Amino acid sequence: MSSSDDLMACAEIVQRGDPDRFVAVLAAKPAARDMLLPIYAFNVEVARAPWVTQESMIAEMRLQWWRDALEEIRAGGFVRRHDVVTSLALVIDGEAAEVLDRLVVARRWDIYRDPFEDAAHFESYLQDTSGGLMQVATQTLGACPTEVAQDVGYALGLANWLRAIPALEKAKRVPLLDGRPEAVAALAEAGLARLKRAKARRGEVSKPAAQALLAAWQAGPILRQAVRMPERVKDGTLGQSEFGKRAGLILRTVGKTY
């Protein structure tokens, strides 16, 4: 199978499993798309791993498979043949592989039904998953301070997490330490503060790296909505219309912001 076939497979995975991020990828330049798609396909596959089986041991084995693949990439020698892994090995370096390894480890929380230990545990989960993903995506494309990528990634991860609350509760998970409306609003405000902090440093982000930040185009609107109407989190009505989403992405693409 050729590298173009592998890349097409990655595109299909992202389109099916993460359609909003796929739309953001289409707003990037072709060269950037070829680098982002394997990273995002990896994220989709890892995020799915804990949910495709009821057996915790099998889920652990699935995540370990991805950790082993990342170790091969980090070591720089033999890398197993796999649509996503083969493509990923062409675009990331050893340091990025280590960041993605922390993402895989954090996803172990998804296997079990234990709540987060405390606020720090919840924060580290979002930083290692969504924050780590954004860090790798931006820094693979160009120069971007780690703090900026982490802040934007955290805000996006929080926005997506709040939208997923009903589904997580239906799956017998305990997604929030405190689900009261005022606590949810405070959590969303903290996410907006991170986004504001990142925007203040946008001048430090290179134009190539900024293309990856477009993935967070919905984070601000969703978090502001959660601040104003936190009850919509539990109701599962948080989010924008399709028109609002597309219009927001266009404005951010033209303005080269996030």
pLDDT tens for each residue of 34-72? 999 999 999 999 999 999 999 999 999 999 999 999 999
The mean pLDDT value for 203-228 works out to 97
Please, which residues have CB within 8 angstroms of residue 92's CB and are 6 or more apart in sequence?
Answer: 38, 39, 73, 100, 136, 140
Domain final residue, candidates 95, 112, 129:
112
pLDDT at 3: 78
Q: Are residues 151 and 235 in the same domain?
A: yes
pLDDT (tens digit per residue) in 112-152:
999 999 999 999 999 999 999 999 999 999 999 999 999 99
Cα torsion at 6, 144, 17, 253 (round to 10°)? Answer: -100
Domain coverage including residue 104: 1-112
Arithmetic mean of pLDDT over the chain: 93
Q: Give the per-residue pLDDT at 239.
A: 78
Same domain for 174 and 255? yes
| Residues 244, 124 share a domain | yes
Indicate if 106 and 170 belong to the same structural domain: no
Is residue 53 domain-shared with residue 93, that is, in the same domain?
yes
Boundary residue ending a domain (57, 90, 112): 112
For the chain, what is the domain count?
A: 2
Last residue of a domain, one of 81, 112, 143: 112
Encode pLDDT of 161-195 as tens digits.
999 999 999 999 999 999 999 999 999 999 999 99
> Would you place residue 1 in the very low, low, confident or very high pLDDT band (cuts 50, 70, 90)?
low
Diameter of the chain measured on Cα atoms? 53
Nearest 5°: the CA angle 52, 112, 171 is 65
What pLDDT shows up at residue 22? 97
In this structure, the answer to whether residues 146 and 167 fall within a common structural domain is: yes
User: Residue 152 and residue 35: Cα distance in Å, rounded?
Assistant: 19
Which is more confident, 18 or 250? 18
Residues 167, 196: one domain?
Answer: yes
User: Can you give the pLDDT at residue 251?
Assistant: 56
Where helices occur in the chain by DSSP H, the ranges are 3-17, 19-26, 30-48, 56-75, 83-89, 94-106, 119-126, 132-141, 146-170, 181-199, 207-213, 219-228, 231-235, 242-255
pTM for this prediction:
0.92
Sorting pLDDT into bands at 50, 70 and 90, what band is 258? low
Q: Do the beta carbons of residue 84 and residue 71 sit within 8 Å?
A: no
- As given in the structure block, the two tokens for residue 234 are 């539990």
Task: Find out whether 103 and 46 touch, Cβ atoms under 8 Å.
Answer: yes
